[in-house]
Amino acid sequence: MVQQAGAVTAEDGAGRANAKSSLMRSPQFSSFVILVVLLVVFAVADGNFLSPLNISNMMAFLPELGIIALGMTLLLTAGEFDLSVGAVFALAPVVVMLLVQNAGVDIGVALLAGLLLCIAIGAINGVIVTKIGISSFLVTLSMLLIVRGAALYITQGFPLKSWDQPGFFVTLLAGSFNIGAFRFYTSLWWFIGLSLLAVYVLRYAKLGNWISAIGSNRNAAVARGVPADAVKIWLFILTSVLAGLAGMISAFRISAASPVAGTGYELEVIAMVVVGGTALTGGRGTILGTIVGALMLRAIRNGIVLVGVPGLAYNIFVGVIILAMLILHALLQKNAARS
Amino acid sequence: MMQEVLRLQNLQKSFGSVRALKNASLTLKEGEVVALLGDNGAGKSTLIKAISGVFPIDRGDIYVRGEKVSIRSTREAMDLGIETIHQDTSLAPDLSIARNLFLGREPVNLKWLGVFAPLDLAKLRDAASALLKRVGISKKLDADALVSTLSGGERQSIAISRAMQFAAKVIILDEPTNNLGVEETHGVLRFVKEMREAGHSVLLITHNIHHVFEVADRIIVMRRGEIVAEQTVADTDLLTVESLITGADLSALMKRAQ
Ligand SMILES: Nc1ncnc2c1ncn2[C@@H]1O[C@H](COP(=O)(O)OP(=O)(O)OP(=O)(O)O)[C@@H](O)[C@H]1O
Ligand SMILES: [Mg+2]
């Protein structure tokens, strides 16, 4: 009976006998298989794919989009999404660095200001979506324009001059360390830690039950006393804050803040999430799937360069693979429903 | 002897220019089953949504056990002991039966963590199985099955067992036998009787007058947002009730025909 293992509930199934088969049919599992296949294909096609340098490179980029994808997964599970994350990714570091470089504000205070800005953006998104009842597509699309426009305007369109003062916060967000021949950034720890937290919340905590219920049938959740609007507003805030955090990590890593950073990230992040098996319509979310999705998109972007696909043709491949994944999920789900 | 549990006084509710409720008043006593009848659009669902905190009323007073209350949210209604099973399905299809049964009242460990507290999954599953057994549907259903895999009747049974488990003072059922098979329908009616015997009050909305005569003590009829009649079941008959609902004087018609 428990065929759609994609749902949060499948893992605590008492039907141990079919737990294995339900896992095999789950969307995150099929994504995982495809990820492995892709990794093998790239590794065979190009010997450098699994080289320490290349793996280190992939692991440097992975957390930046991956962290946003965690927030987006929770938001999508609750039935909403956020198109303004790419713009927030740019605005937060731009504001922080302007405050430090031009206004002489202490970096800690500037980061706090950046955090408050992200909270405000998320709260505005959430309040308009829930209290005024405009779809999150329209609200966050407008917010994308406002936030991106603000980043461009306050910088006059120029990237900020480089940031070369190491310090506690830089080490905390973008410090690096070596393990053998591999070079990792502290952002990887952030991604791992936040992932564990997100898995816990969505699958095991009371809040996760609420999030899934809200996305599955909002009226039913409200009728049971679940504060649906408040949960959604907090998820919008969380997603914005994570986008800002990712932006800071990226800016510290490359020692610069650009007003056009993160352009198109919103769609890339949503692609990671749905490729992992989270339903765009809400109710069914999987953090493990999102991690697989984030790894997959990272590997694809990296791998197709190595195997020699012309740069301008990247997106064709990325699009085709995403589409193939979604078709696969849909077919699997149809199958599950029939049997 | 029969204590008053719920009293509504002059409730009013409009949706834009639609006056869905105009001055609706009623009382519900302990251990009493009251049937709320009326044609489509009469305002029955609006009335019970107001009591269960789905939306605020425009005007009027609600008393629970003689005390004036204001019900601003579904949570407040539940805390006052009012459990409602809504006409439009009240389950989340992507969640398991067990998770639906405890939605909003999840058993948790480490309570101090608030919304971040971990669910007590063992307790959740055991309580759900026990409950399904009690309602008599455990043979067919696994507490971990997703609600999306259930039939309409099975879903209704789940919603009803959920109201049962929290043993509320007042249970409101909005067309609970809709889409149900014969056996499940009898299950629901049996449940209503059980609730009365246990001292709970039931407000039952239905379009099936036969069910009313089987389980209800009292009948309240609504028409166009108003309560137009109130009768004890013992003092009335099917024909009278039908004419009250439609507003046509059927019994007079019948007499003329004879
Ligand atoms: N959310 C709403 N917005 C606008 N109008 C509404 C809303 N809910 C109900 N109404 C209107 O209020 C009136 C009463 O509706 P209600 O749902 O209470 O009827 P009902 O007695 O439950 O009918 P039924 O037997 O068909 O369920 C109807 O005219 C309906 O169109
Ligand atoms: Mg109704």
Assign A213 a pLDDT band (cuts: 50, 70, 90). Answer: very high
Q: Which helix (H) or strand (E) covers residue B174, if one does?
A: strand B170-174
Contact A217 B116 (CB under 8 A): no
pLDDT of residue B236: 84
3-state secondary structure of B228: strand
Q: What residue type is B246 in one-letter code?
A: T
Range with top average pLDDT, A23-32, A33-42, A126-135, B193-202: A126-135
Assign A2 a pLDDT band (cuts: 50, 70, 90). Answer: very low
Instruction: Render pLDDT for B129-181 as a digit per residue (tens, 0 to 9).
Output: 888 877 666 566 788 888 888 877 778 778 878 887 776 789 999 888 877 77
Mean pLDDT of B16-22: 89
* Cα B46 to Cα B38: distance, rounded to the nearest angstrom: 12
Residue A80 has pLDDT above 90, yes or no: yes
Averaged confidence pLDDT in chain B: 85
Give A-chain residues touching B128 at CB under 8 angstroms: none
Q: Is B245 in the pocket of ligand 1 (CB under 6 A)?
A: no
Give B-chain residues touching A225 at CB under 8 angstroms: 73-75, 78, 104-105
ipTM over cut 0.85: no
pLDDT of residue A310: 83
Q: What are phi and psi of A185, to 5 degrees?
A: -100, 155
Q: What is the 3-state secondary structure (H, E, C) of chain B?
A: CCCEEEEEEEEEEEECCEEEEEEEEEEEECCCEEEEECCCCCCHHHHHHHHCCCCCCCEEEEEECCEEECCCCHHHHHHCCEEEECCCCCCCCCCEHHHHHCCCCCCECCHHHHHHCEECHHHHHHHHHHHHHHHCCCCCCCCCCEHHHCCHHHHHHHHHHHHHHCCCCEEEEECCCCCCCHHHHHHHHHHHHHHHHCCCEEEEECCCHHHHHHHCCEEEEEECCEEEEEEEHHHCCHHHHHHHHHCCCHHHHHHHHC
Residue B251 has pLDDT above 60, yes or no: no
Local structure of residue A300 (DSSP, 8 states): H
Residue A11 has pLDDT above 70, yes or no: no
Mean pLDDT of B217-224: 92
Instruction: Render pLDDT for B32-85 as a digit per residue (tens, 0 to 9).
Output: 999 999 988 899 999 999 999 988 899 999 999 889 999 988 889 988 989 888
3-state secondary structure of A49: helix
pLDDT of residue B74: 87
Give nearest CA residue, ligand 1 atom 22: B45
* Cα B145 to Cα B135: distance, rounded to the nearest angstrom: 17
| Domain layout of chain A by residue ranges | 28-334
Contact B78 A224 (CB under 8 A): yes
Mean pLDDT of A59-78: 95
**What pTM was computed for the model?**
0.84
Assign B250 a pLDDT band (cuts: 50, 70, 90). Answer: low
Ligand 1 atom with the shortest distance to the CA of B39: 25
Q: What are phi and psi of B57, to 5 degrees?
A: -85, 155
pLDDT of residue B167: 64
Instruction: Render pLDDT for A95-153 as a digit per residue (tens, 0 to 9).
Output: 999 999 888 888 899 999 999 999 999 999 999 999 999 999 999 999 999 999 999 99
pLDDT of residue A229: 96
**CA B174 – ligand 2 centroid, Å:** 7
Place of tokens 């080289």: A51
Query: Within 10 A of B155 (CB to CB), how many other CB atoms are there?
Result: 20
Lowest mean pLDDT among A173-187, A243-257, B12-26, B208-222: A173-187
Q: Is B40 in the pocket of ligand 1 (CB under 6 A)?
A: yes
Q: What are phi and psi of B85, to 5 degrees?
A: -110, 110
Mean pLDDT of B220-249: 85
Residue A234 has pLDDT above 80, yes or no: yes
pLDDT of residue A4: 38
Residue A18 has pLDDT above 60, yes or no: no
Contact B119 A205 (CB under 8 A): yes
Ligand 1 atom with the shortest distance to the CA of B222: 21
pLDDT of residue B123: 92
The answer to whether domain B4-94+167-257 has CATH 3.40.50.300 is yes
Q: Could you tell me which chain A residue has the CA closest to the CA of B118?
A: A205
Ligand 1 atom with the shortest distance to the CA of B175: 27
* C-alpha separations of B229 from B130, B219, B223, B239 in Å: 41, 8, 9, 14
Assign A338 a pLDDT band (cuts: 50, 70, 90). Answer: low
- List residues of chain B with CB under 8 Å from any CB of chain A: 52, 54, 73-75, 78, 84, 86, 88-96, 98-100, 103-106, 108, 113, 115-119, 121, 125, 142-146, 148-149
* Percent of chain A whose predicted confidence (pLDDT) is above 90: 53
pLDDT of residue A331: 83
Assign A1 a pLDDT band (cuts: 50, 70, 90). Answer: very low
CB A90 within 8 A of CB A148: yes
Residue A245 has pLDDT above 90, yes or no: yes
* Percent of chain A whose predicted confidence (pLDDT) is above 70: 90
Place of tokens 């589409």: A323
Place of tokens 């019948």: B254
* Cα B3 to Cα A77: distance, rounded to the nearest angstrom: 45
Fold of A28-334: ABC transporter involved in vitamin B12 uptake, BtuC (1.10.3470)
Lowest mean pLDDT among A49-63, A168-182, B81-95, B243-257: B243-257
Give A-chain residues touching B95 at CB under 8 angstroms: 7-9, 209, 212-213, 216, 283
Mean pLDDT of B111-137: 86
Residue A336 has pLDDT above 70, yes or no: no
Q: Is B258 in the pocket of ligand 1 (CB under 6 A)?
A: no
